[in-house]
Structure 1
């Protein structure tokens, strides 16, 4: 209990500082901010000089060719009429530095796709702006990162105006660093990491795209004139998490709120939720990736934001993540002819992380196979489960190894295939051949992979919660676009239903799924992103003029 008392005292102290000592915090913040600006001034000048040098080299190398992608974005740029000082487009010639706080930028997941699509949109709208990414991926250089972005997401960035600053403190946000009091520990770790970032460079706009709200609050404390933004994929703590502690709850903490230790954990989480709300109130522009996330962020951050920002616009906007819907529609045919080339294959695209719950899918697939399903539409061809995902570190690699062992123990190893760090072309090939797309994460914040399934014409079997339930696998024209499940038995039944439909029913559902996916395009994301980014640019211009 000694460690608990220490952390509880720390939580209370942090909350008291936010609530009762704002002037003291501001005084300390001003001193630290002034020091960091001076310390990073030379690096800023060197960075801008490097950008100019790379731009000249790029222009020399590409003088005879013009990137077609620039033309593709002209409509978006032209449609964004803003309220710049001169009344024209909202500061199209703005040339500041936008910093994206994304310490795991090379992970290759859906959150990273948001980051790169946001940078691409920002580059096309403000071509003179410099986009900097704070990352802890020391093992890869700029060229390798951008090449992976191209291979994994088919997103082409303008190299001269995107740069990476490497953090040495990323280990402070790893769960392994904080085996106890992980929520608070990782949040404190993000403060250390943010200080590391600001010691490298103080940007003109600071945006967190990974969920480290405490880092944004630190930016606001140190640099009041620097506008801040947050794209929230998943609330650090939510009412669902608090409820999960009770008996019968779901998730990795299900049922751990019982007894004296459980009561202490509930108290700890509620105090942390209060601190999280205070931190969220400091952010200028907040975007969420789904209505589920928006609802939770509004319930936690909303009251404090309303109280703190009396005269400030504090709407929390839903900006659906970008999904390669247009490309998938172009690359993958959905027709009676193409349907004959699809097999009874179930595809699960997800990083090999614990919360993705691959174990549930393996157990459900085993149950499905052991029921000896009859699949007349597939000429009784043997079903197959294909698991595609990125492997971030040794923990993920160990997880894949254990999942392979489980497949062996369940006697399904010959009908399960693991594909790690697949390139986009390989993923496209499987989406052409597969019939069913699977998602088993409880309270998935959105579910980019599920939208990809739908755009590719796959029939989805997804968890009955979060974004897949509320935003994606919904009825179209009053008819289903997939199936929802929660338990092993329900998933096994969902697999059976999806693969037992007649050819006519299957094709009709594929068409409905593709129509549903058209709500989540790259262009739709970019338009919404630029609307919010436009607010940050105008705030920066305004505050710089007042300083």
Structure 2
């Protein structure tokens, strides 16, 4: 008897929840606002993703006056005016008018620290819960994901939204699955797992299943814009919607940087590193390489300085920055290293204008906005290479040669090289030394070639390709509203 009562109570509760969900969805579908809702929970990350957000908002504002722009954010101090000011102060993007802001209260469910294990699944399911909050607070005509939360797309479709996304990199890729199978240790593949055959096989099964799920939810997008040929190949393979997948290079500030003079100070050469303080950016490798290069400097040679410029999203990033500062002290180069956190855009331009070189050390960089910015500013890039280098036609490129930089950015310009490659601390140090010893005329020639190449990835190109991609969907909505 008691069991029957309990079962009846559970069924009744579950039925009530389902009915409630259906009513909420029906209400949302019937009360969609004439807005484009940008799902971007972190509007203070300061990286290339945030630049894309503000350029996308501006492009929509320029393309149509029928739809307002709304930003869903978990930053509770964000306001329309502060976000508009941030767009121009941090990125030089001037919006036509302030976007509406919807504050999200449950951002903790997409934070990495919330899920010590099975992080990808946890964050993905957490994003569904967060998008539920967003869609219930305001249901837009277009749900625009600019942060890579593909698991939100089916829910947005249920609410009757058109789903558009700008994908910087796939949440999971065949490269990640391959590393697990080969038991290669990296920041996202713990050494404890790589040492165990059984754990590695279990993680391989987990990754394979997640990859299938990611492909399924991604296929719900009406339009998927991707930032590079590397990302495009992965997304087309996983999501299987090639006709809805469009390559739109991210907006790089080439015009503002290309006016900087190519001549640089030689008394204290500056080497800059622009990247968020995240583990995959490999800042420690750069610092160690700089330390080795300084020790190998010729007597009487000008002593360089290393400038780390980046943003911190959370406490974990703050801790990484502090460890980097501690490492500089341990390596006895603290007097030669400068740290700039959450820098204003105008100050970043000033630093780029004084740098002779730019460091990049991320493996599988999906595009590499910082590489383009180095080249546009006249700073010669020194970046990551792999064992695949012997199979390439080009002997010089600034970044990991299996992802965006190889396929899109770093190609010889007029037969001239545009940077250096390195694979470990010693090779990075040797590249730094070679650059410092290079005659000014040779450095000037390489910088000029890089600047010309960087001109292919301008904000103007982004606006043009972005608007071309979204126009069919905007036209469909206009016909429906008419």
TM-score (norm 2): 0.88
Quote how far apart the aligned CAs of 1:145 are. 2.1
Q: Is the 8 A contact 2:187 2:279 kept in 1?
A: no
Aligned residue among 491, 497, 500 for 2:428? 491
| 2:311 is the alignment partner of 1:383 | no
Q: Which residue in the other structure is 1:136 paired with? A: 74
Q: Secondary structure at the match of 1:339?
A: coil
Q: Secondary structure at the match of 1:435?
A: strand
Q: Which residue in the other structure is 2:324 paired with? A: 403
Q: Which residue in the other structure is 2:25 paired with? A: 33
| 2:319 is the alignment partner of 1:372 | no
| 2:161 is the alignment partner of 1:233 | no
Aligned length: 446
Quote how far apart the aligned CAs of 1:158 are. 2.3
Q: String of CA shifts for 1:323-347, please: whole Å, max 9, x gaps.
A: 11111123x122xxx3356842110
Q: Secondary structure at the match of 1:419?
A: strand
Q: Which residue in the other structure is 2:465 paired with? A: 528
Following the alignment from structure 1 to structure 2, what is the Cα–Cα distance between the partners of residues 110 and 274? 27
Moved more, 522-531 or 423-432: 423-432
Q: Which residue in the other structure is 2:365 paired with? A: 444
Following the alignment from structure 1 to structure 2, what is the Cα–Cα distance between the partners of residues 286 and 29? 28
Q: Is the 8 A contact 2:224 2:244 kept in 1?
A: yes
Q: String of CA shifts for 1:163-219, please: whole Å, max 9, x gaps.
A: 110001111000100111001000000000000000111101111011001112211
Following the alignment from structure 2 to structure 1, what is the Cα–Cα distance between the partners of residues 162 and 452? 38
Following the alignment from structure 1 to structure 2, what is the Cα–Cα distance between the partners of residues 287 and 342? 45
User: Which residues in structure 2 correspond to 1:46-65 (within 5 Å)?
Assistant: none
Q: Is the 8 A contact 1:342 1:434 kept in 2?
A: no
Moved more, 365-374 or 389-398: 365-374
Q: String of CA shifts for 1:417-436, please: whole Å, max 9, x gaps.
A: 00111112211211121100
Q: Which residue in the other structure is 2:449 paired with? A: 512
Following the alignment from structure 1 to structure 2, what is the Cα–Cα distance between the partners of residues 191 and 544? 28
Quote how far apart the aligned CAs of 1:281 are. 1.0
Structure 1: 5+ residue runs without aligned partners?
Answer: 1-25, 45-95, 307-313
Q: Which residue in the other structure is 2:375 paired with? A: 454
Q: Is the 8 A contact 1:323 1:521 kept in 2?
A: yes
Following the alignment from structure 1 to structure 2, what is the Cα–Cα distance between the partners of residues 342 and 211? 44
- Residues 107, 427 of structure 1: alpha-carbon distance in 2 compared, 3 angstrom cutoff: same
Superposition misfits of 4+ residues, deviation over 6 angstroms: 26-30
Q: Is the 8 A contact 2:227 2:249 kept in 1?
A: yes
Q: Which residue in the other structure is 2:246 paired with? A: 317
Q: Is the 8 A contact 1:345 1:385 kept in 2?
A: yes
Q: Which residue in the other structure is 2:204 paired with? A: 266
Q: Which residue in the other structure is 2:93 paired with? A: 155
Quote how far apart the aligned CAs of 1:31 are. 5.1
Q: String of CA shifts for 1:334-373, please: whole Å, max 9, x gaps.
A: 2xxx335684211001111111111111111112112235
Q: String of CA shifts for 1:492-515, please: whole Å, max 9, x gaps.
A: 222122222211110000100100
Following the alignment from structure 2 to structure 1, what is the Cα–Cα distance between the partners of residues 305 and 146? 35
Q: Secondary structure at the match of 2:140?
A: coil
Following the alignment from structure 1 to structure 2, what is the Cα–Cα distance between the partners of residues 249 and 316? 32
Aligned residue among 265, 269, 273 for 1:344? 269
Quote how far apart the aligned CAs of 1:250 are. 4.7
Q: Is the 8 A contact 2:228 2:408 kept in 1?
A: yes
Q: Is the 8 A contact 2:139 2:159 kept in 1?
A: no
- Residues 346, 339 of structure 1: alpha-carbon distance in 2 compared, 3 angstrom cutoff: closer
User: Which residues in structure 2 correspond to 1:54-453 (within 5 Å)?
Assistant: 96-160=34-98, 162-223=99-160, 226-245=161-180, 246-248=182-184, 250-253=186-189, 256-257=193-194, 258-302=196-240, 305=241, 314-330=243-259, 332-334=260-262, 338-340=263-265, 343-373=268-298, 380-453=301-374
Q: Secondary structure at the match of 1:392?
A: coil
Q: CA RMSD in A?
A: 2.2
Q: Which residue in the other structure is 1:22 paired with? A: none
Quote how far apart the aligned CAs of 1:249 are. 5.6
Structure 2: 5+ residue runs without aligned partners?
Answer: 1-17, 386-399
Following the alignment from structure 1 to structure 2, what is the Cα–Cα distance between the partners of residues 147 and 414? 34
